[in-house]
Amino acid sequence: RRAISALQRCSFQNRAWIKQQREILHLSRWAASVSVTQKVTLVHLKPLGWARPWPSYTAVSGSRDTMELEEQQALSLNWVYGSASTVSNNVVNLSDGFSERVCFLAAHTAVIFDKRTQRQMFLQGHCNAISCLAVTGDRDTIITADAGRTSLMVLWSATSGAPLVSIAEPHKHGVLALDLSPDDEWLATISAPDPETGEQEIALWSMAMCRVDSSARPCVASAIPAGDIQTCVRFNMNNVNELMSNGKRRVYFWSHQFPSSHRFKYYSPPLRAKDFKQSIGDFTHSVFVPGSLQALTATSDGDLVVWDEQGVTVQVGTRATDRRAIKLMRIHNSPVTVLTTIGDYVVSGGQEGFVRFYDPLLRIVAWFEDLAVGPIMSVAFSAAPPSNLASIDAADTINRFLAPDFVVSTSESCLVAVQSASFEEYDASRRRGAVILHALRAGAADVAAHPTRAEFAVLGSDGVLQRWDMVKHTCVQSRAFPKMSGTRLAYSRDGGFIVAGLQDGYLHIVDTESLQDIYTTRNTPAHVCRLATATTGDSVAISDSRQHVLLYSLLPYKNGQRWEYIGKSQVHHAEVVGLQFGESPSGQTRLFSLGADGRVAEYDLERSSPSAGLVLGRHTDLPPPTVPSALAFAPPLPYFAAYATDTLLLLCGEIWPQGG
């Protein structure tokens, strides 16, 4: 504890001094990494030593910028697997004909991935998970924003990844949605709702001011009427002075007269189910139809609500130019998760994994239904002209489908590049696109690193187990545990097998290479919460949600060995927060557990057997008000030389008694 405190008091800007202190305190790489990692977690991997969190970036590995930045960071990001699959429009396409790059979101970080060089560049600095992502039409500037305390809206150079301008707290609670005008001169934002009142604000920003002034404020701003949280905002491509937004049940049309007025005018047309004689699902996204006065709003039922000006059918109290719902049309058989435009096309993406293109009259023009990558979350188009444009005669372009190539992201964290010309391919396999980044399972329940190889395994909450190659960044093996949800994962000491703990008490010991079952059992109806493997590779211990500790061992059987259930014990009266195998200095394998009730227990492995069960050796209760949270074996370091004959445990807790 004294060693860790000394490191935390030192200046993180002077890494040479830290290295010297590590040698003085005789800390191993492991012990030092624990203390420094805790600090990095607090500052979200930003350059350390700065008074206030500030946007930082990590350039491509091996560049001078990277090495200079790493001198200020305790940890540097090397690679990102997966993406923010629950965020809508979580990817933008930076391809312009000269480069093939995409930028996608991954929690607090935006990642620029170059498909040709297979390298990633990281845009870091947000204290909260990024909620919005956009890029200018020339693919020169990326805009990110987050929602929460100390929120930021940052403009980044898409070329270098360097932050250009950082605007602190663009709204009180951050940004929930944003959109750029077609001419890239204006930026519209909708604030995240107030946690207590649900109040929101819509704002219009001048991009010219945002590019040069970090203290820039909105040119136009208005409060949004309470009652329905707005989640989407879009500019009218034909008139940048008009916008529309939508929540689940309301759509607002906004207009402004800046600089003569700094407030928005708005109206919200009513939409009643009885008007269309059918129920209407929740709204998801909205757009204006290119070259038309109409606007569209997608629903969770797969429908489009078509809004058009009232004209001569104007109702009392409204204007002829005000829009009203005139039609409801079905475009998907599942929720519409993406609605955007490119050129004269309206583009939709559905939860069934289909992408469809419509002309301004809402007639279907092209459809991509063979992608087979899961529910669509974003469709991002390249700035380069259509790939098949050069091979088509001018006379043939009139009735041909021509659109830029695009990238699709899905709720399964998969990024797929699709050529628009593949729509004309007869073979369905050639219409599926090319995977840019392999999908890491969404909702990872646990991760474990191989002890000797550059590999790691991921167990998803959906019951899918994957083994990944950290050098090639590809999934080398995968299997599913049907109708089960994963909870815990661990490698054996030699990496020969993987142990997967599942809900409802199921335990699978699988072969590392094939992921095929070696041993499967269920000895508790409760969920597996903790999992540990012995250093000798012949024992596995788990704890469940009912505070039981269970032991399994590899025992002699006939001419070989087989896994057997030893027994279980309940020593703790609160959650088991630590479960650890270790070795004493004499080489004896020992098993300890730590409960949130402050009890440390050791189990007698020599006396434990299938007939005797798991035998409790001894236990110790920590004095109150200790609230333990983690347990680990202390490494055999010179710092602990005075206790070389003892087995030492490192305990981590929230409150410790004075002098403890």
Amino acid 470 reads M
Choose among 442, 440, 438: nearest CA to 472: 438
Q: For residue 45, what pLDDT is reported?
A: 34
Q: Is the peptide bond before 259 cis (omega within 30 degrees of 0)?
A: yes
Q: Where are the domains of the chain?
A: 2-43, 444-653
Average pLDDT of span 37-55: 31
Question: Can you give the pLDDT at residue 207?
Answer: 95
Q: What is the mean pLDDT of residues 301-328?
A: 83
Please give the pLDDT value at position 71: 52
Report the pLDDT value the prediction gives residue 424, as an integer from 0 to 100.
86
Task: Specify the pLDDT at position 53.
Answer: 35
Q: How far apart are CA 541 and CA 543, in angstroms?
A: 7
Question: 21 pLDDT exceeds 50?
Answer: no
| Cα distance between residue 52 and residue 186, in whole Å | 28
Determine the pLDDT at residue 645. Answer: 59
The CATH classification number of 444-653 equals 2.130.10.10
pLDDT at 66 over 60: no
CB atoms within 10 A of CB 316: 4
134 burial via Cβ count (<10 Å: 0-12, 13-18, 19+): middle
Position 641 scores a pLDDT of 56
pLDDT value at position 413?
84
Residue 148 pLDDT greater than 80, yes or no: yes
pLDDT class for 330, splitting at 50, 70, 90? very high
Residue pLDDT, tens place only, 207-227: 999 999 999 999 999 999 988
pLDDT at 638 over 70: no
Give the H/E segment covering residue 7.
helix 2-9
By DSSP bridging, strand 175-180 and strand 56-58 are: unpaired
Cα–Cα distance between 186 and 137 in angstroms, integer? 12
pTM (two decimals): 0.82
Q: What is the pLDDT of residue 271?
A: 83
Confidence at 442, pLDDT banded by 50, 70, 90: low
* Number of helical H runs and strand E runs in the chain: 6, 47
pLDDT, one tens digit per residue, over 533-570 is: 998 899 999 999 999 999 999 999 988 999 999 999 99
Greater confidence (8 vs 316) lies with: 316
What amino acid occupies position 270?
A: P
Average pLDDT (76-80) is: 87
Q: Could you tell me the two tokens for 597?
A: 């009730």
Q: pLDDT category, 316, cuts 50, 70, 90?
A: low
What is the DSSP secondary structure assignment for residue 594, as one 8-state letter? Answer: E
Three-state DSSP at 1 gives: coil
Alpha carbon of 614 to those of 567, 584, 605: distances in Å?
5, 20, 7
Q: Residue 643: what pLDDT?
A: 55
Strands (E), 310-443: 323-330, 336-342, 345-350, 355-358, 364-368, 376-381, 406-410, 415-418, 434-437
Point out the least confidently predicted range of 275-284, 574-583, 644-653: 644-653
- The predicted pLDDT at position 43 comes to 28
Banded pLDDT at 622 (limits 50, 70, 90): confident
pLDDT band at 322 (very low <50, low <70, confident <90, very high): confident
Q: What is the mean pLDDT of residues 501-512?
A: 94
pLDDT at 647: 67
The secondary structure of residue 174, as a DSSP letter, is B
Residue that is written with structure tokens 């935006």 in the block: 110
More confident residue, 40 or 1: 1
What residues contact residue 57 under an 8 Å CB cut-off, 6+ apart?
65, 69, 121, 122, 123, 124, 125, 156, 160, 161, 162, 163
- How much is the pLDDT for 166? 94
Question: What does the pLDDT average to over 421-447?
Answer: 84
Query: Does 167 score more than 80 pLDDT?
Result: yes
Closest among 314, 339, 309 to 324, alpha carbons compared: 309
What are 656's two structure tokens? Answer: 């410790």
Question: Given this model, what pLDDT does residue 82 score?
Answer: 84
pLDDT in the model for residue 294: 95
Which residues, other chains included, contact 525 with Cβ-Cβ below 8 Å and sequence gap of 6+?
Answer: 504, 505
96-131 pLDDT tens trace:
888 899 999 999 999 999 999 989 999 999 999 999
Q: CA-CA distance, 209 to 358, in Å (whole number)?
A: 36
pLDDT computed for residue 19 by the predictor:
38
- The percentage of the chain sitting over the pLDDT mark of 70, rounded to a whole number, equals 83
- Sign of the CA dihedral running 385, 389, 391, 393: negative
Q: What is the mean pLDDT of residues 415-431?
A: 88
β-pair partners for 455: 469
Residue 34 confidence (pLDDT) above 60: no
Confidence of residue 319 (pLDDT cuts 50, 70, 90): confident
* pLDDT at site 58: 40
> Is the predicted pLDDT of residue 20 greater than 90, yes or no?
no
Confidence of residue 390 (pLDDT cuts 50, 70, 90): low
Contact between residue 193 and residue 86 where contact means Cβ atoms under 8 Å apart: no
Looking at per-residue pLDDT, the higher value among 608 and 462 belongs to: 608
User: Lowest-confidence range among 31-40, 604-613, 625-634?
Assistant: 31-40
DSSP track, 48-72: TT-SS---EEE-STTSHHHHHHHTT
Region 513-535: mean pLDDT is 94
218-275: pLDDT as tens digits: 999 999 998 899 999 999 999 999 999 999 999 999 999 999 999 999 999 988 777 7
Mean pLDDT of the 89-99 span: 91
Strand order in the sheet with 376-381: 376-381, 406-410, 415-418, 434-437
Residue 388 pLDDT greater than 90, yes or no? no
Average pLDDT, the chain: 84
The confidence score (pLDDT) of residue 33 equals: 30
Calculate mean pLDDT across residues 385-405.
70
Residue 616, beta-bridge partner list: 603
Element (H, E) at 474: strand 474-480
